[in-house]
Amino acid sequence: MSSLSILRKELAEIMPDFGMTELNPFQVSILEAFKSGKNLLIEGPEGTGKSTAIMVAALQKITEASEGSPRAIIVCSTDQKAKDLKEKFASYGRYFDLTVDLITEKGKMLHQRNDLFDGTEIIVGTPKRLYELYLQNGYNVSKMKLFVLDDAIELFKGGFKMQIGRLADSLPKCQHLLFSTTFNDYRIEEYLEEYVPITQHVIADTE
């Protein structure tokens, strides 16, 4: 049986169009745990397919377009990583008529705010600009289903614990996914204790 069978039918059907006929074992482990609805700590080195897992998990959760508030936010550690992930999302998301907006410091805030007002399902961005626009009521988090931190260790080393914590504190009950090469850091531990107290750990088998 193909590993794509764990995905919803509509998503599994388009994956081969992008050259992906199978998920790797780490991605399968992530998506199996994701189905439980639990908050996840996902630990693995670069090159294990975490970015694809983020995209697939979001497209599993966000199944159709809906006017109004976004339902997923993915926080990236750099402008370039956010841009790369947004482009990956946009390629797949167009099959489901989903709007994906990029929110980083390299873009003009007014344009980004107008894009969000026009309606979006998924926001991919960096913590500083995401927080700035949230403070300006640039987007509503009341319907949020998924909050993702990519490269969590780099986000917290970069000094963005306050911005991320404020965003997390404003969210309704939703699923949190934290991706990182390691979670052995006091800043992440403090964040988890305050905002994401119950988690399941998924670790890549690199042997």
- Give pLDDT tens digits for 128-146: 999 999 999 889 999 999 9
Q: For 60-98, what is each residue's pLDDT tens digit?
A: 998 877 766 899 999 999 999 999 999 988 888 778 888
Calpha distance 89→66 (Å, rounded): 17
What token pair was written down for 96?
A: 């489901």
pLDDT of residue 192: 94
pLDDT of residue 206: 60
Calculate the average pLDDT of the chain.
91
Q: Contact, 66 vs 88, CB < 8 A?
A: no
pLDDT reading at 54 higher than 60: yes
Angle at 201 between CA 83 and CA 124, to 5 degrees: 15
pLDDT of residue 91: 84
Reduced 3-state DSSP string for 148-188: EECCHHHHHHCCCHHHHHHHHHHCCCCEEEEEECCCCCHHH
Calpha distance 173→12 (Å, rounded): 28
CATH superfamily of 24-203: P-loop containing nucleotide triphosphate hydrolases (3.40.50.300)
pLDDT of residue 118: 86
Q: For 7-34, what is each residue's pLDDT tens digit?
A: 999 998 988 888 888 999 999 999 999 9
pLDDT of residue 18: 82
DSSP conformational letter for 67 = S
Q: For the chain, give every domain's residue range.
A: 24-203
Q: Contact, 161 vs 138, CB < 8 A?
A: no
pLDDT reading at 207 higher than 70: no
